[in-house]
Amino acid sequence: MSNAGHLRGLSRNQISIIIGVVCALPMAWLFWAAVHDLLGANPAEALIRQSGIWTLRFVCVVLAVTPLRIMMGWTALAQWRRQLGLTVFIYALLHFLSYAWLDMGFEIEDIAKDIVKRPFIWMGFSAFALMSLLAITSFNRAIKWLSAKRWRRLHQCIYVIAGLALLHFLWMRAGKNNFAEVALYAVIISALLLWRVYRHFKKNLN
């Protein structure tokens, strides 16, 4: 059976629901853990950190869609790339709101000062701003309004977002000299981006 149509008898809508449920599980666990006081001695910090890490993980998932689609022949993956991209934005929004509420008490002036004052916050906010732009333009009307070519160029900002998110994570962990997890994501993101560079040059050479 072709993976472009149905997967083991499931319709596209059914698969979208399954993907949505799976993507929502980490967020559901975070809320459940917060309600049941399972986030440790500093639940606010844990919620901020965990939502940020899950954002980075889903960025890696989105970047992996094209390599898997091409290398493994899983052409149907392209149908859910937009859904996965919106998942990245939702987790980034949770991360930002957790910081804005639990760290800053929704004081807009203090948040603005903190963004300017601390470089790693600025990096994270820049990534979030770009994610917001991609989320706003993720619908078919935006493609018609921008034109397909401009829309594709705009959504290549995911590469910039990945870099900014990684730098945000690196800068945050630098204060505690804890780079092991950062190195793991750096390797994954670098491999996914280098694959694209390699494929681009290979196409041009051919």
Confidence label for 2 from pLDDT (cuts 50, 70 and 90): very low
3-state secondary structure the chain: CCCCCCECCECHHHHHHHHHHHHHHHHHHHHHHHHCCCCCCCHHHHHHHHHHHHHHHHHHHHHHHHHHHHHCCCHHHHHHHHHHHHHHHHHHHHHHHHHHHHHCCCCHHHHHHHHHHCHHHHHHHHHHHHHHHHHHCCCHHHHHHHCHHHHHHHHCHHHHHHHHHHHHHHHHHHCCCCCHHHHHHHHHHHHHHHHHHHHHHHHHHC
Q: What is the value of pTM for the model shown? A: 0.92
Predicted local confidence at residue 179, as pLDDT? 87
Cβ distance 5 to 79 under 8 Å?
A: no
CA distance 24 to 149: 31
Mean pLDDT of the chain: 92
List, in order of start, the domains of the chain with CATH numbers: 12-205 (1.20.120)
Closest CA to 193 of 59, 84, 78: 59
Predicted local confidence at residue 177, as pLDDT? 75
| Residue 2 CB neighbours (<10 A) | 8
pLDDT tens-place string over residues 74-89: 888 888 999 999 999 9
Predicted local confidence at residue 182, as pLDDT? 94
pLDDT tens-place string over residues 29-77: 999 999 999 999 999 999 999 999 999 999 999 999 999 999 988 888 8
Predicted local confidence at residue 1, as pLDDT? 40
Q: Is residue 8's pLDDT more than 70?
A: no
Confidence label for 155 from pLDDT (cuts 50, 70 and 90): very high
Q: Is residue 174's pLDDT more than 80?
A: yes
